C-alpha cells in the first residue's frame, strides 16, 4: 500500500523543519531534539483518576516510575510499560499520552518505567531495571490497588525489546507471573539484516538511526547476540505469555517483529500479529495526529482487557 496521507504529511512537516538527522547528534543532543516530539497537549490527553511519580528500588539505585490509576474501585489489572527511544532517548514524559490512553481504555493501573539510558548505561542496564520494575510491581501490586495475578508487560520499539526480554527472564526465573506481553514494533534482532531494514530508508526511523542506537546500547558483538538484547535469538520460546505484536508497513523493524511473532506461534504461544499498512515507526505514540495510531492504541487496550479477563 502507499504511505498513509497523514503519515506523509507528518514526514513532510518534519522535513520542512530542517532539523539535523538524529544519528548525526550526540545522545544528549538527540534527547534534547526529541524531548517534545511525542508530547500531547494537556487538553488532548486521556483523563485518568490519578497520576503519581515515585521511585522504586533497582539493581543500581532508585528507578523513577510514573503510576497511572484508572477510575473505579479496583483491584485493577496492572501493565508494566517500558518506553521506546532506542535505549538512548525518551522518558516518562514522551510516553505519558500513550500510558494515559492505555490506562483508561484497558481499565488497568499502568506503571511506566524510566530505566537507565545508554550510552551512559550500556546493556544490560535497561534490561535489569525493566525486570526489577516488573518484579516490584508484581510484589507490590496490592499497594497500587492492583491485582498481582493479572500483570502484563508492554513497550514500543526499544521498549518492546525490553518487554520481550523481561518476558523471557520472567519465564526462566519463575517470576513474576506475566499474563500478557504487548510488543509494539519491537526491536528484537541486532543483526539488522531483514528485507524491511534494507527497504525503508527514509520513513522517520532509518537504518542509520537503528545502527546508531545499537552502537550506543551494546559494547560488543557478543552483547548484540545475547537473547536479552536480541530476543529472537532465544533458543526456546515455549511457555512465554500470550502476545500482541503490532508492526508498521514502512518501518525498518517490521520484519523482525513479525518474525518474532511467528517464532512465538511455532512454540505454541498464542499471538496476534497486526501490521498497520501505510504507517511509519512511532505511529503508536503519535496517536494525536495519526488516526491509525488511535486504532493501534485501541487494539492494544482491547487485547489487554481480554488477557486480564482470563
* Residue 33 contacts residue 25 (beta carbons within 8 Å): yes
More confident site: 262 or 42: 262
pTM of this prediction?
0.98
**What does the pLDDT read at residue 39?**
76
Based on the residue annotation, tell me whether 196 is a catalytic residue of this protein: no
Rounded CA gap, 222 and 125, in Å? 16
Based on the residue annotation, tell me whether 251 is a catalytic residue of this protein: yes
Of the listed 101, 157, 196, 230, which one is catalytic?
Answer: 157
Task: Record the cell numbers describing residue 112, joined without a space.
Answer: 511506566
The answer on pLDDT for 44 being more than 90 is: no
Of the listed 114, 147, 189, 251, which one is catalytic?
Answer: 251
Q: What is the pLDDT of residues 156-180, one digit of tens each?
A: 999 999 999 999 999 999 999 999 9
The answer on pLDDT for 2 being more than 80 is: yes
**What does the pLDDT read at residue 18?**
85
The answer on pLDDT for 40 being more than 80 is: no
Q: Which of 21, 20, 22 is nearest to 216 (CA)?
A: 22
Write the DSSP assignment of 263-290 as a string of letters: HHHHTT--EEEEEEEEEETTGGGGTTT-
The CATH number assigned to the domain holding 118 equals: 3.40.50.1820
**What does the pLDDT read at residue 191?**
98
Rounded CA gap, 134 and 79, in Å? 9
- Domain of 23 in residue numbering reads as 5-309
For cell 539505585, what's the residue?
A: 61
Q: pLDDT grade, residue 96 (50/70/90)?
A: very high
**What does the pLDDT read at residue 181?**
98
Total number of domains in the chain: 1
* Residue 161 contacts residue 186 (beta carbons within 8 Å): yes
Based on the residue annotation, tell me whether 156 is a catalytic residue of this protein: no
Of the listed 4, 147, 281, 300, which one is catalytic?
Answer: 281
Average pLDDT over residues 77-87: 98
The answer on pLDDT for 86 being more than 80 is: yes
The answer on pLDDT for 192 being more than 90 is: yes
Amino acid at each position: 500500500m502507499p504511505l498513509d496521507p497523514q503519515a506523509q504529511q507528518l514526514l513532510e512537516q518534519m522535513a520542512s523543519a530542517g532539523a539535523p538527522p538524529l544519528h548525526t547528534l550526540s545522545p544528549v543532543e538527540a534527547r534534547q531534539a526529541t524531548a517534545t516530539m511525542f508530547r500531547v497537549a494537556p487538553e488532548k490527553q486521556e483523563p485518568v483518576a490519578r497520576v503519581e511519580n515515585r521511585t522504586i528500588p533497582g539493581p543500581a539505585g532508585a528507578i523513577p516510575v510514573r503510576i497511572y490509576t484508572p477510575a473505579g474501585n479496583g483491584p485493577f489489572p496492572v501493565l508494566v510499560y517500558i518506553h521506546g527511544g532506542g535505549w538512548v532517548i525518551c522518558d516518562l514524559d514522551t510516553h505519558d499520552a500513550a500510558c494515559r490512553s492505555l490506562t483508561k481504555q484497558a481499565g488497568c493501573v499502568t506503571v511506566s518505567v524510566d530505566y537507565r539510558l545508554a550510552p551512559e548505561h550500556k546493556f544490560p542496564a535497561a534490561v535489569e531495571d525493566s525486570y526489577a520494575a516488573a518484579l516490584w510491581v508484581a510484589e507490590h501490586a496490592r499497594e497500587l490497588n492492583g491485582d498481582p495475578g493479572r500483570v502484563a508487560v508492554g513497550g514500543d520499539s526499544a521498549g518492546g525489546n525490553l518487554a520481550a526480554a523481561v518476558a523471557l527472564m520472567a519465564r526462566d526465573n519463575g517470576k513474576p507471573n506475566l499474563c500478557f506481553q504487548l510488543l509494539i514494533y519491537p526491536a528484537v534482532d541486532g543483526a539488522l539484516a531483514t528485507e524491511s531494514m534494507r527497504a525503508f530508508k527514509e520513513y522517520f526511523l532509518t537504518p542509520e538511526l537503528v545502527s546508531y542506537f545499537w552502537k550506543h546500547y551494546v559494547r560488543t558483538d557478543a552483547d548484540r547476540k545475547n537473547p536479552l538484547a536480541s530476543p529472537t535469538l532465544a533458543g526456546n520460546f515455549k511457555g512465554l505469555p500470550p502476545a500482541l505484536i503490532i508492526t508498521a508497513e514502512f518501518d525498518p523493524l517490521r520484519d523482525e517483529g513479525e518474525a518474532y511473532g511467528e517464532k512465538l506461534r511455532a512454540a505454541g504461544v498464542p499471538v496476534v500479529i497486526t501490521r498497520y499498512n501505510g504507517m511509519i515507526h512511532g505511529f503508536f505514540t503519535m496517536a494525536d495526529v495519526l488516526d491509525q495510531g488511535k486504532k493501534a492504541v485501541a487494539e492494544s487496550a482491547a487485547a489487554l482487557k481480554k488477557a486480564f479477563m482470563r
